[in-house]
Structure 1
Amino acid sequence: MGLPLSAARAGTGIGAIATFASTFLAWTWTAAFPGDLSVTGYPGGLQVLTLTGAILTLLFVLAGYEIRGLRWLSPAGKNGPALLFALGTFVTTWFTVIAITVDLGGLANLEPGAYVAAVASLIALVAALGLPSDVAADNTTANAWQRFVHCFKAPTPKEATALPGWAEILIIAVSFGLGLYVFTYGIDIDSDNPQLFIGFLILVGFGATAISRAGLNRRLAGLTSKHKNVTVTAAFVAAFAFPFTQSNDAYATIGTNILIFATVALGLNVVVGLAGLLDLGYVAFLGVGAYTAALVSGSPSSTIGLHLPFWAAVLCGAGASLIFGVVIGAPTLRLHGDYLAIVTLGFGEIFRITMQNLDGSSGPDVTNGSNGIPNIPDLELFGFNLGESHTILGMELGRFSNYYLLMLLFTIIVVTVFRRSDQSRIGRAWVAIREDETAARAMGINAFRLKLLAFALGATLAGMAGTVQAHVTFTVTPAQYKFVEAVPPNSAFLLAAVILGGMGTVSGPLIGAALLYLIPAKLQFMADYQLLLFGVALILLMRFRPEGLIADRRKQLEFHETGQLDAPKGDIGLKKAGV
């Protein structure tokens, strides 16, 4: 038997308020624990995450009462989101308490505030487990675990009251602003404070699930599809504002590398997500663009000795990758499935080994072998040297911030190409080939030519990103383009970014690439177990979210039950048909 609804909501709310109050007390007596949780009256570090979780838990509890102004928060589920936020707050709080105990050596290092937080978050969670499920048919006979499981299954959101146009645009702008704040908060966490980043991941993970179960993501998706131009503008305004939020240019490094990784992943999404071609050697096209730019950009170690302007280097890198894409794709795209994957994997390794052997000993002296091409000069655009600091809008931007803004421009180009391709006749033909190539051929589609076009376009986009990567990293070496490497981008992580984010979508690979780059960069102490954890994460993803974090409607219908009745089988079907 569950708790009465009023008692469960009251208990969850009281627990959330007590948890909120506990963050203003000292949790430990020493500042040795990262974040300094010893100050009374001023939450810091992991306390801020607990405070945020408590506030969100309380808000969604109040939304269950359908209080005017809060109804919009939970269009699909009244109780599931509150339970998920209570669980996220509980896990974050208890993780902090355990981390203090382990790092400082015993329970004696806990102050009363930590005990209050642990007990209060437990009370909120236990009371939230008593909330009735939003979808359970018979809540009176369901136990706490069954009600908890049902909270992960949100019903269809209710029809929202129409809002004025300006209000819908404001909601979109605020949503992207909050997204920028969360992303910036994660990047700004010092890598020497992994406890805070783990707590951040815990709360964001439960929070994203709660928002999804509340139906807010669907409601926001409806607004963004209604105001597409506003959405695209808001997204890139938020991205443009990122370097202006950074006080340390070192954090902008992560943002720049994420954009490079994400742009290449989006190019791979053309090949895998739209055309359905499994390419395991895609990182080689990034390397072709990077090596081409390194050879023609004036590096003292270049064996060619050219120094072309940047726009010419970009064209050379993109053109070289295009040629390689056609040359490799023409003989191999007649293969299908696993055979195509093996051939592309072989191409990736052939490229890396070839670059390593062009050292003047094993072959012609072109790439300096395993030493690569170092000392690639910084770019100069319109009189600005991107390697120097510049003041823009009253703020000083360092080297990596400059390259971030340049890479953002390239990302806009790639996103535009992807969206135009996806919405064109060619894009629809790619999807048809991906779903059933035999049927597409029967409808008159030239499958080979269109697959070659997808392969060439994906290679061109990767080569274009490689031209910027060469200048950002100063050096291009063959070791950067292995199939699996500890530091992305590499073919395995690029493919994982597409699958994790959601194949065939624009935002999916961007989010997937950001997660796969940011998490290893912040949790460096787990580098020895990175591939193991990566494999576990993929297994969990395939089990619980096979369509990816951001999935289109087709993928959702493909991987999940639609609620439609199955077609009758056997004699029963014949009898119903009157036969």
Structure 2
Amino acid sequence: MTTTAQQTSPPAAPRPTPAIIPLPPATARAATGIGALLTLASTFLAWTWTAEFPGDLTVNGYPGGLQVLTLIGALLTLVFTLSAFGVRGLGWLTPGGKNSAILLFALGTFATTWYAIIAIAVNLGGLANLEPGGFIAAVAALLTLVAALGLPSDVPLDGDIETVTPWKRFTQAFKAPTPEPAAPLPSWAEILIIAVSFGLGLFIFTYGIDTEYAELFIGFMLMVCFGATAVSRAGLNRRLASYTATHKNVTVTAAFVAAFAFPFTQTNDAYATIGANILIFATVALGLNVVVGLAGLLDLGYVAFLGVGAYTAALVSGSSYSTIGIHLPFWAAVLAGAAASLIFGIVIGAPTLRLHGDYLAIVTLGFGEIFRIAMQNMDGTSGPNITRGPNGIPDIPDLEIFGFNLGEPHTVLGVELGKFSNYYLLMLFFTIIVVTVFRRSDQSRIGRAWVAIREDETAARAMGINAFRLKLLAFALGATLAGMAGTVQAHVTTTVTPTQFKFVEAVPPNSAFLLAAVILGGMGTVSGPLIGASLLYLIPAKLQFMSDYQLLLFGVALVLLMRFRPEGLIADRRKQLEFHDTGQLDTPKGDIGLSKAGV
């Protein structure tokens, strides 16, 4: 007698508990809105009892310092939450990711608020220095963030809800969903949106420069970073990009009008100094972008061309320490500096541009160091007495253009502009020239040939492109633009020394920071290097207490950038396709074909 073995299946594994408990969208949004409202209300209460903490957070009914940033973050979180609820008139704020924008604004508010609370505790000696308003702000910001994490993702989650952790939900917020198509607007409305956007950008930039203490600037940077990402994930940046692409000339005009208005917003010439130096740094970075971003030539000694222009201007601008005793007018000094840099660019580029990749980088790095050492040795002892060696050439007189002395205060449109405001406006004029040259070059046949050489020089040569001649042209053009900016830098700093032109130095501009500005902002774009240079100059200028760790933090930032944003902050279409998934189907793998079809 045979018996059939009883097949017993193992008991089913218990269903895992979700890492994030999903909430109904309406419930999560309501909780987020209530938390944002409580956070906003907490800014009208005192956060600490003593005015020793910068910003005076002891006043009830009047936010100040870091409280203002928390108020702005909570208000934006609330407004975007109402937009997600479908409140009439606010739907245009979220053409893309509604919930991602809310989460990122909530995260920015949380980071700024908790940074302020921790800073109070550290600076004043413990949490006992917090008033009830500070505790309410910390708890309300945390509740807002937790509620925002319960919102559904705008993009498909990688995995089942049971496997979604808070970290995975957080990273999903940084993935851009496809924005909804924009409703057609009249041309005047699109132009108005462009103008308002640049006006808002001017306000944010001015607020950042005018921050009076490091704690406020750090809070500002936290809010701006998360806020900018939130606006991007909401789809507003793509919509604005479509308007700017339609009205390119209006966009360029609005950008320079906003930049022109900057010195008129300043009451302290020290902040105008930062603006002038940022423009110098940004203009030189844009010139380097011609060499690196368009032609793909890795130049690690580019700051030497800035030095050639600066030393030329110092020698011919009438300094009492000039060894040649020539005093040329401003326009002649600019042409002399640009011409000297052009000559150096051709002399250095002609024998070296036949090299490629790392070999070219090493040669250009050597040229930068040779230039600095040569300027240091031309002191009359180790070499001819031309640059006064390590002492440099000081006492460079202020420029005088058409009887207008840039070193003296002048009243323009009822606003008194100091020395550095005058130089800022002068440097803005040169920035316009550099941007015009870059745009014309990029859109020309030569610019397309540069891009072809950058992508594949062998293929470009096969198509009949004279690669050496075009690379030399890019090298010479970049050197000329750097030399032109160097003539203005010499008059802004009033002293030119060899130590200003090292490869790596704690204070920009130098070759490493210039190259990083191009990579950070986005190679091959106009606005990318300008934004990258602004960040790399502004952050060290405002956080001087971290100067001992500046290069370490700089390296960490570059590593993070290469990991999470290799195409830069402002990337062109080609770089986005190169570094990110395009959404196209992969080529089928395996032996799928005629044999499988039975043919």
- Shorter-chain-normalised TM-score: which range? over 0.9
Structure 1 position 164 matched with structure 2 position 180: no
In 2: Cα distance, 1:442 partner to 1:118 partner: 64
Structure 1 position 302 matched with structure 2 position 335: no
Q: Give 1:578 deviation, angstroms.
A: 7.6
CA contact (8 A) 1:357 1:363 kept: yes
Q: In structure 1, give the amino acid aligned to 2:500.
A: Q
**2:48 pairs with 14, 28, 50, which one?**
28
Q: In structure 2, give the amino acid aligned to 1:524.
A: Q
In 2: Cα distance, 1:325 partner to 1:392 partner: 39
In 1: Cα distance, 2:597 partner to 2:342 partner: 57
Q: In structure 2, give the amino acid aligned to 1:380.
A: E
- Give percent identity, aligned residues only: 82
**1:218 pairs with 227, 234, 238, which one?**
238
**1:59 pairs with 67, 76, 79, which one?**
79
Aligned match of 2:69: 49
Distance 1:333 1:19, change over 3 A: same
Q: In structure 2, give the amino acid aligned to 1:499.
A: I
* CA offsets 1:230-277 (integer angstroms, 9 cap, x no match): 101100000000000001001000000000000000000000000000
**2:355 pairs with 335, 353, 356, which one?**
335
In 1: Cα distance, 2:167 partner to 2:597 partner: 42
CA contact (8 A) 1:136 1:147 kept: no
* CA offsets 1:442-479 (integer angstroms, 9 cap, x no match): 00000000000000000000000000000000000000
Show the 5 A alignment for 1:128-277: 128-136=148-156, 140-141=161-162, 142-190=164-212, 193-277=213-297
**1:121 pairs with 123, 141, 153, which one?**
141
In 2: Cα distance, 1:539 partner to 1:525 partner: 23
Structure 1 position 12 matched with structure 2 position 25: no
In 2: Cα distance, 1:60 partner to 1:576 partner: 53
Structure 1 position 486 matched with structure 2 position 506: yes
**1:553 pairs with 573, 579, 589, which one?**
573
CA root-mean-square deviation: 1.2
Aligned match of 1:101: 121
Q: In structure 1, give the amino acid aligned to 2:468.
A: F
Aligned length: 577
* Structure 2: unaligned runs, 5 residues or longer: 1-20
Q: In structure 2, give the amino acid aligned to 1:184.
A: T
Aligned match of 1:450: 470
Show the 5 A alignment for 1:431-470: 431-470=451-490
Q: In structure 2, give the amino acid aligned to 1:226.
A: T
**1:472 pairs with 480, 492, 498, which one?**
492
Bigger mean CA offset, 4-13 vs 281-290: 4-13
Q: Give 1:569 deviation, angstroms.
A: 3.1
Q: Give 1:77 deviation, angstroms.
A: 0.6
Structure 1 position 74 matched with structure 2 position 64: no
CA contact (8 A) 1:133 1:139 kept: no
Distance 1:489 1:576, change over 3 A: farther
In 1: Cα distance, 2:30 partner to 2:517 partner: 42
Q: TM-score, normalising length from structure 2?
A: 0.95
CA contact (8 A) 1:299 1:373 kept: yes
Aligned match of 1:510: 530
SS at match of 2:411: strand
Q: Give 1:62 deviation, angstroms.
A: 1.1
Distance 1:576 1:82, change over 3 A: farther
SS at match of 1:9: helix
In 1: Cα distance, 2:249 partner to 2:116 partner: 42
SS at match of 2:54: coil
In 2: Cα distance, 1:450 partner to 1:146 partner: 47
Q: Give 1:389 deviation, angstroms.
A: 0.1
Q: In structure 1, give the amino acid aligned to 2:221.
A: L
Q: Give 1:5 deviation, angstroms.
A: 1.0
Distance 1:577 1:541, change over 3 A: farther
Show the 5 A alignment for 1:529-540: 529-540=549-560
Distance 1:354 1:46, change over 3 A: same
Q: Give 1:154 deviation, angstroms.
A: 2.0
Distance 1:571 1:316, change over 3 A: same
Q: Give 1:563 deviation, angstroms.
A: 1.2
Bigger mean CA offset, 483-492 vs 565-574: 565-574
Structure 1 position 383 matched with structure 2 position 410: no
SS at match of 2:592: helix
Bigger mean CA offset, 142-151 vs 198-207: 142-151
Structure 1 position 89 matched with structure 2 position 126: no
In 2: Cα distance, 1:562 partner to 1:112 partner: 50
In 1: Cα distance, 2:126 partner to 2:476 partner: 60
SS at match of 1:571: coil
Bigger mean CA offset, 447-456 vs 129-138: 129-138
* Higher Rg of the two aligned structures: 2
Q: Give 1:570 deviation, angstroms.
A: 4.2
CA contact (8 A) 1:289 1:463 kept: yes
